[in-house]
Each structure stands twice: as C-alpha cells, then as structure tokens.
Amino acid sequence: MFAAASAPATVANVGPGFDVFGFALEGPCDHVQVRRVSTPGVRLVGAVDPTLPRVVTKNVATAVALRMLRAVNARFGVEVTLTKGLPLGSGLGSSSASAVAATVAMHRLLGERFTDDELLDFARFGEKVACGAAHADNVAPALFGGFTLVRGGSPVEIIRIDVPKNWRVVVVHPHLELPTKKARAALPLSVALRTMTANVANAASLIAALYKKDLALFGRALMGDAIVTPVRKRLIPGCDVAMRAAIQAGAAGVSISGAGPSIFALTDSDAHAKLVARRIAAVWRRHGIKTDVFVSRIGARGALQRR
C-alpha cells in the first residue's frame, strides 16, 4: 500500500513576524511517497541529495514517519522516498516542505486519523530535527496553505488570513547556502523595549494591510522589522544592494525569505514582478552569484489541499 504528498515552498517571518507569519508559494515542492512493508521501522529508499542525512532519526522525512508510526503503535514499517524540489538552505522552507510532505503522506497511509493540531505537531517535530527549533511559521502554511499567523498557545493556534488575489510575490534565490541554525544563532537574545514596540506596530500594521487590501502599507510594515532583518542582511553578500534594487524597480516592499539567503519583494502584477526579479538578479550576477526566480501569488495551496 502506497501514499504520497507534495508540500510547497514557503516564505516565513514576512518582515516583523519572526517565527509568526508565513505563506505558501506556487511552484517548487518536495514530494514524499511512503510504502507500507511488513518489517517494522522506517527506511529511506532511493537516491537523496548526498548532503542530506540518511540516518532515520536525523532525516526530516523519515524522523516524522517514525514518530507517526510510533503514535499508532504500528506493527508494520514504511519505506520512504523523498524527492526534493526545493533547494537546501535557501530560505524557502526546504526542511518544512519535507516534514509536511512526510506528515501528510503518512496521514494518508494511516487512514487520515489525525487532527489538524496533531498534523501540525508532527510537522513541527520535523522542523526541530532539521534546525533544533520547532517553529511553525513555515510548516503551518506548507500544511494548510494561504497566509498564516502562528499565535502560539497549546495546542499552537494557527490563524489563516486571505490575501488580495492580485498581489504577487517575487522570490529570488541566490546560489549561496545559509543554514537556518547559523541564521538563528546570529540573532540577539533580548531587545530594547522601543525595538519591541516598533516590531509590534509593524506586525500589527502588516495584518491590518491584509484586511484593508493596502499593498503600500503592507510593504512599509514588511520593511519595518527592527530586530531580525538588519542582523541577517549582513550574513548575505549583496543583500542590501539587491533589496534597494527591488525598491528602485517599484516593489511595494522587500525582505528576507525565512532565514535567507533568498529575498522576496511584493508587487500587484505578474509583469511588474518579473521586472523586479530581473533587477534583483542583476545585482547578484554582478557579484558573480547565480539566482533562481519564482513569481507566485501569495498563499498557494498547502499539502492537505493537494492530491
């Protein structure tokens, strides 16, 4: 018996919403297939990127599958095939896509018996295996789709918010690798009260902009992150210049996607998004760095909504 699932790339943080905001992208996906076998336990089969761990408890997809088998006290095992569509360490939620695709494939194999809260927990476990922190800002949109807000709580509360249909995001991935662990280790452990006030104001404005359908406000709020983006920009060669190029090309706002090094910018049409993409890519080309570009609407379907 087989089951399979695909999970999309995601943009997390979205400026001032560190570990809180995220949205799903159209385009690249990770794909996981699971096959029930009589031998208990989990095995990773097929070729995988040589930089990914093959040890069952260390590979995100197999670690999630093992946890889900244990949750149902299974006497059988599974073979897991992981097909990576997302680049590693890119800031596009690569580990989350693997964790979510594994979670949903196993959910289907096991008879769709889990609640949404339980599925989120399994996927967050995968994220923890990957980077040591069970943050949900990538896995929530990869699982449920759309633009999501992680309020926290127990169980973790996820709020899904509609995004105006004509808003477009352009994501540019420079061929540099920035492991999430390293990008998290660079962050301050505490911030000044006035910095916290600035981030709360901008995070609240970003959500207000979604309800007001006000892309210009969304862009201003996106760029108001006073805590995480200023630190991480310094870890990404050419980032500042690429961001300035996006704004000069008329983007409503620009920020780092997840932990980076990819950046994303916002526009209100496909044609404008493509122009912004060309300007950003040109900056990295001048630094001798190749790029991949994706244009997407904001908040594509999540793994649970894909068959």
Q: Can you give the binding site for ligand HSE, defined by CB under 6 A?
A: 12-13, 18-19, 135, 137-138, 180, 183-184, 258-259
- CB of 44 vs ligand HSE, minimal distance in Å: 22
CB atoms within 10 A of CB 92: 28
> What proportions of the chain, in percent to the nearest 5, are helix, strand and coil?
40, 25, 35
Cβ-based nearer residue to ligand HSE, 33 or 95: 95
CA 102 to CA 108: how far, in whole Å?
Answer: 10
Residue whose entry in the numeric block shows the structure tokens 């896509």:
97
Pairing of strands 77-83, 41-45: parallel
Catalytic residue from among 103, 127, 267, 291: 127
Nearest residue relative to ligand HSE (C-beta): 258
Residue 148 catalytic?
A: no
Catalytic residue from among 10, 62, 148, 180: 180
The H-or-E segment that residue 300 falls in is none
Residue 127 catalytic?
A: yes
Q: What angle do CA 222, 228, 230 make, to 5 degrees?
A: 85
Cβ-based nearer residue to ligand HSE, 62 or 96: 96
**Taking Cα atoms as reference points, which of 162, 121, 153, 112 lies closest to residue 140?**
121
Cβ-based nearer residue to ligand HSE, 119 or 150: 150
- CB of 229 vs ligand HSE, minimal distance in Å: 10
- CB of 257 vs ligand HSE, minimal distance in Å: 9
**Taking Cα atoms as reference points, which of 30, 122, 13 lies closest to residue 70?**
122
Cβ-based nearer residue to ligand HSE, 102 or 249: 102
Catalytic residue numbers? Answer: 127, 180
